[in-house]
């Protein structure tokens, strides 16, 4: 089944404790992206990648890191999480390297930072 998977689905952590949220897609998509979703704000892009070893900042990259060592994986790293990073996170992928076609979203990771 074609899908985007994220792990973990739920995570409660404390301020400053490094964490990684994994994202994997099995569709051989070029483009991958991370978004956060907060009430009243809509999806906001954190980072995106148009190809292996190519990553770019989105609208809200501060406090996050990503890597794209393999085509299928695009982990999101929070080196020192803070409470304002409490949010619902989505990973997405699309075939076109520009992301301007159907984006497939993962199921989401709900992160709480205390």
Residues found near another protein in the complex (CB under 8 A): 4, 35, 39-45, 56, 90, 92, 98-108
CB closer to another protein, 3 vs 28: 3
Which of 75, 99 has the CB closer to another protein?
99
Q: Are 111 and 17 in contact (CB under 8 A)?
A: no
**CB 14, min distance to another protein, A:** 25
Distance of alpha carbon 87 from alpha carbon 113, whole angstroms: 9
Identify whether 38 is preceded by a cis peptide bond (ω within 30 of 0).
no
Residue carrying the six token digits 């020192």: 80
Give the nearest distance from C-beta 36 to another protein in angstroms.
11
């Amino acid at each position: 089944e074609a899908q985007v998977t994220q792990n973990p689905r739920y995570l409660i952590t404390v301020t400053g404790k490094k964490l990684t949220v994994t994202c994997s897609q099995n569709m051989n998509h070029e483009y991958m992206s991370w978004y956060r979703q907060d009430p009243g704000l809509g999806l906001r892009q954190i980072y995106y990648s148009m190809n292996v070893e190519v990553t770019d900042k989105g609208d809200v990259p501060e406090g996050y890191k990503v890597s794209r060592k393999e085509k299928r994986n695009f982990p999101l790293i929070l080196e020192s999480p803070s409470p304002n990073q409490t949010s619902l996170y989505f990973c997405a992928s699309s075939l076109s390297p520009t992301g301007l076609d159907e984006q497939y979203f993962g199921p989401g990771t709900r992160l709480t930072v205390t």
